[in-house]
Amino acid sequence: MSKPATTETRMEKIVSLCKRRGFIYQSSEIYGGIGGFWDYGPLGAELKRNLRDTWWRAMTREREDVVGLDATIIMHPAIWRASGHVDTFADMMRECTISNKRVRADHVEPQSGSVIRFTGAKVPTPGNWHLDRTIAVLMKQGEHIESFRKRVRLLIAQNAGAAAGKPEEIELLGEEKIDTIDGSVDFHPETGGMLNEARPFNLMLRTYVGPTATENDIAYLRPETAQAIFAQFKNVCDSSRVKVPFGIGQIGKAFRNEVTPKNFTFRSREFEQMELEFFIKPDEAVRLIHGSVAAWHEGADLSEPKPDWGWEMWHRYWVAQRTAYYASIGLGLDVLEYHWQTKADLAHYARACVDILYKFPFGTDELEGIAARGSFDLTQHQTHSGKQLEYFDEELKAACDAMNQEQKTAFIEETHAARTNLETSREEITSTCEKLFKGLYIPHVIEPSAGLDRLALAILADAFDEEEVTDDKGKTETRTVLHFHPRIAPIKVGVFPLLKNKPELVSKAREIVALLRPHMSVFYDETAAIGRRYRRQDEVGTPFGVTIDFETLGEEKPEFKDTVTLRERDSMEQRRIPIAELLPFLLSKIL
RNA sequence: GCGGGCGUAACUCAGUUGGUAGAGUGCAACCUUGCCAAGGUUGAUGUCGAGGGUUCGAAUCCCUUCGCCCGCUCCA
């Protein structure tokens, strides 16, 4: 579509910049591209690596209570049956033959009414649009024939798009009642259109393990990284001397056969997740050890974990931790939103889930979900694998050993009275309590799960800016700049000799590059005028520029010998700094 | 998957009734240049998304296909 540059949207400008400067390319572009897959170019690779590193550092290295894991993408298919992904990601779906609206084959409610067949439809006016296939629609019991016809016209119009024009202009052809049905599941519950044959609809990408590639060899590319953590929970416990509460963090690729990849890299078929599964004591265990469970209230102190925290405090704690993380890379509360899922939104096993959303140019959408998942996942894997995944808590055991039988009986009664799920039987509760008395439980889990590619996109969108800059001569122009936080900027510093045809300047600049290179990504540029070189770096978000001029060499003003001009990207201000102070200064900004 | 829009240089886009493709920006080289996209000279880059068809001749017309955007749909 031809349109003036001024109407190019912010998102289009970002996509264009990403391509032009080497942040993000379409995958397989020279072969026409492949939908839902994106490659990171030289600068994008640096940006993404920096983001990955900040997460890993904040979530594992800087904490005593989190360890890392790097698991395979392809795992035993049974994992995905235990997790529920095979069932919910592989439904048999049927589509309405008029509207293409999709429903799960096993979720169609039986309906009754008259089946009306039309041999086609047409619009007599200019476009000469026509539908020349037979369609069958259910006229529901009690539906008036005229409102039914109106509904069918609307249905056809919606599906045909602009070509068919207004619904009221559509002329239905060859109307005929062909059947009366009772309790049929062959018509779409909303549209009444006849459904096609059920087809498998699988959101997990498949492959085959082994050379024979038979039905028995099917494996899946993981649709999330979390399950590997649960599957290796026992190994980590047995080999790492970790004690609940503790977490296992992982960064890795995941794959989903999205129906509609969209919004640039936001919804991709291959993407990278950064997930933490943080295992905590069940509230009952906390209560046994400490006599009570700290309840969350507005303004509660979440700065340091406390031994008497229950799941809700831990959940809030991780929301606060993750918020602090986003602030540390430049995403403050002004660009984030929080969506607390309601009881109705929640998956049946989840106790709470908050989405952290970023205000993307195309809409506010999810960066991360922080879910309190109870003991669902480990319990599923214990059941399906037959392996004991309970954790032995010495502290709990010691606390229970100090209780007498009366106290234990009272505890069981309290627990039964406080149960949230009324389907849980007294026997189950008693059995769980007896386990607790022995120090055994399946840990509960808090799961902060973030999308690395979405974060990279948010960072790009947030950093992108077009500033109106007025120079000394009063000339106004647009400066395109990416305001990356120095910590995550792909290039930390640009080094420029003021003039490239003066060998002393060039060799001094090369010395400074050699000085900085071991510590950070440095970009050396000697071409074109100095102003242009600054602007080039602005456009890729380099926070600092260092210029070597004749003062650096000690000419004219000896007091400036071995100082350089340091130019700051956001303010465009310059100051002189001794070369000896350059490295410590830059390191203080990027670490 | 359905409907609509679009696909020409690295980017943003022109391209007349079908006659062998252009601009601006960017990039490279040189000259000039003392600090915010300076000036000058020169230069490189296109299977016109891909495949097929019509035609003496296709960026242009037709068919198929792929990709991107929007809406629907889907969405742990």
Task: For A325-366, write each residue's pLDDT tens digit.
Answer: 999 999 999 999 999 988 777 777 788 999 999 988 888 889
**What distance, in Å, lies between the first and last C-alpha atoms of chain A?**
45
- Residue A201's pLDDT is 62
What pLDDT is attached to residue A7? 43
Q: What tokens appear for A142 in the block?
A: 């009690």
Burial tier of A3 (Cβ tally within 10 Å: 0-12, 13-18, 19+): exposed
Specify the pLDDT at position A591: 83
Model-wide pTM > 0.90 = no
Query: Using the CA of A369, which nucleotide's C1' is the nearest one?
Result: B76
Answer with the residue of higher pLDDT: A268 or A187.
A268
Q: Which residue has the tokens 């009221």?
A: A168
Tokens in use for A584?
């410590």
> Of A184, A196, A181, A75, which is closest to residue A133 (Cα–Cα)?
A196
Q: Which residue is nearest to nucleotide B66 (CA to C1')?
A: A32
Q: Is the pLDDT of residue A504 over 70?
A: yes
Confidence at residue A11, expressed as pLDDT on a 0 to 100 scale: 86
In the structure, how far is the CA atom of residue A510 from the C1' atom of nucleotide B28, in angstroms? 22
- Nearest-CA neighbor of A322 among A382, A273, A370, A260? A370
Residue A8 confidence (pLDDT) above 80: no
CA pair distance A435, A439, nearest whole angstrom: 6
Quick: pLDDT tens for A203-257. Answer: 788 888 887 777 788 888 999 999 999 999 999 999 998 999 999 999 999 998 8
Q: How confident is the model at residue A457 (pLDDT cuts 50, 70, 90)?
A: very high
- Of A4-13, A118-127, A188-197, A270-279, least confident by mean pLDDT is A4-13
Q: Which residue, among A295, A203, A240, has the nearest Cα to A67 in the 3D structure? A: A240
Per residue, what are the HEC states of A431-484? HHHHHHHCCEECCEEEEEEEEHHHHHHHHHHHHEEEEEEECCCCCEEEEEEECC
- A488 or A191: which carries more pLDDT confidence? A488
Q: CA A236 to CA A253: how far, in whole Å?
A: 21
A577: left (phi over 0), alpha (psi -120 to 50) or beta: beta
CA atoms within 13 A on the CB side of A568: 12
User: Which protein residue lies nearest to nucleotide B65, measured between its Cα and the C1' atom?
Assistant: A32
Choose between A365 and A53: higher pLDDT. Answer: A53
Q: What is the amino acid identity at position A264?
A: F
In angstroms, the CA of A26 and the C1' of B27 are apart by 21
Helix H or strand E encompassing A247: strand A246-255
Q: How far is the CA of A117 from the C1' of B7 (A)?
A: 40
pLDDT, one tens digit per residue, over A421-431 is 667 788 888 99
Q: How far is the CA of A3 from the C1' of B17 (A)?
A: 25
Residues 6+ apart with CB under 8 A from A397: A438, A439
Nearest-CA residue relative to C1' of B29:
A527
Confidence band, pLDDT 50/70/90 cuts, at residue A3: very low
Interatomic CA–C1' length for residue A8 and nucleotide B5, angstroms: 15
pLDDT at A416 over 90: no
Lowest-pLDDT choice from A164-168, A347-351, A439-443:
A164-168
Beta carbons within 10 angstroms of residue A390's beta carbon: 17
| Across A262-287, average pLDDT | 92
> Which long-range contacts (C-beta less than 8 Å, at least 24 apart) are formed by A501-507?
A504/A553, A505/A548, A505/A549, A505/A550, A505/A552, A505/A553
Q: Which amino acid is at A212?
A: T
Q: Residue A161 pLDDT > 60, yes or no?
A: no
C1' of nucleotide B5: residue with nearest CA:
A1
Q: Which nucleotides of B are covered by protein (CB under 7 A)?
A: 1-8, 10-15, 26-29, 31-38, 49-50, 66-74, 76
Amino acid A14 CA to nucleotide B2 C1' distance, rounded Å = 29
State residue A192's pLDDT score: 77
Do A480 and A466 touch, CB atoms closer than 8 A? yes
Position A198 scores a pLDDT of: 66
Taking 50 as the threshold, does the pLDDT of residue A1 lie above it?
A: no
- Which nucleotide, over all strands, has the C1' atom closest to the CA of A449? B76
CA A92 to C1' B68, whole Å: 30
pLDDT surpassing 60 at residue A542:
yes
Per-residue pLDDT, averaged over A517-523, amounts to: 94
Per-residue confidence (pLDDT) for residue A2, from 0 to 100: 25
Neighbouring C-beta atoms of residue A213, cutoff 10 Å: 11
Q: What pLDDT shows up at residue A478? A: 81
DSSP letter, residue A520? S
Instruction: Give me A430's structure tokens.
Output: 């008693």
**Does pLDDT of A260 surpass 80?**
no
What value does the mean pLDDT take over residues A127-131? 61
Instruction: Look at residue A158 in the predicted model and tell me its pLDDT.
Output: 64
Query: Which residue blocks in A361-404 are alpha helix, DSSP H?
Result: 376-385, 394-401
Q: Which of A56-60, A175-179, A467-471 has the highest mean pLDDT?
A: A56-60
Task: Write A567-576 long-range contacts (CB < 8 A, 24+).
Answer: A567/A534, A568/A543, A568/A544, A569/A481, A569/A483, A569/A537, A569/A538, A569/A541, A569/A542, A569/A543, A569/A544, A569/A545, A570/A481, A570/A483, A570/A543, A572/A469, A572/A534, A574/A547, A576/A551
A316: pLDDT strictly greater than 80: yes
- At A473 the pLDDT is 59
- The stretch A304-325 carries a mean pLDDT of 95
Nearest residue for B49, CA–C1': A32
The nucleotide whose C1' lies nearest the CA of A224 is B76
Locate the DSSP E strands across A283-426.
336-340, 352-360, 363-374, 391-392
Output the distance from A190 CA to B46 C1' rounded to whole Å.
51
Name the residue closest to B3, CA to C1': A161
Q: Which residue is nearest to nucleotide B39 (CA to C1')?
A: A529
pLDDT in tens, A70-124: 999 999 989 988 888 877 655 566 777 776 666 666 667 777 888 888 877 776 6
Q: How far in angstroms lies nucleotide B48's C1' from the CA of residue A16?
A: 20
Residue A165 pLDDT exceeds 60: no
Q: What integer best gives the mean pLDDT of chain A? A: 86
Range A572-590 average pLDDT: 93
Instruction: Estimate the crossing angle of helix A405-417 against helix A426-437, to 10 degrees.
Output: 140
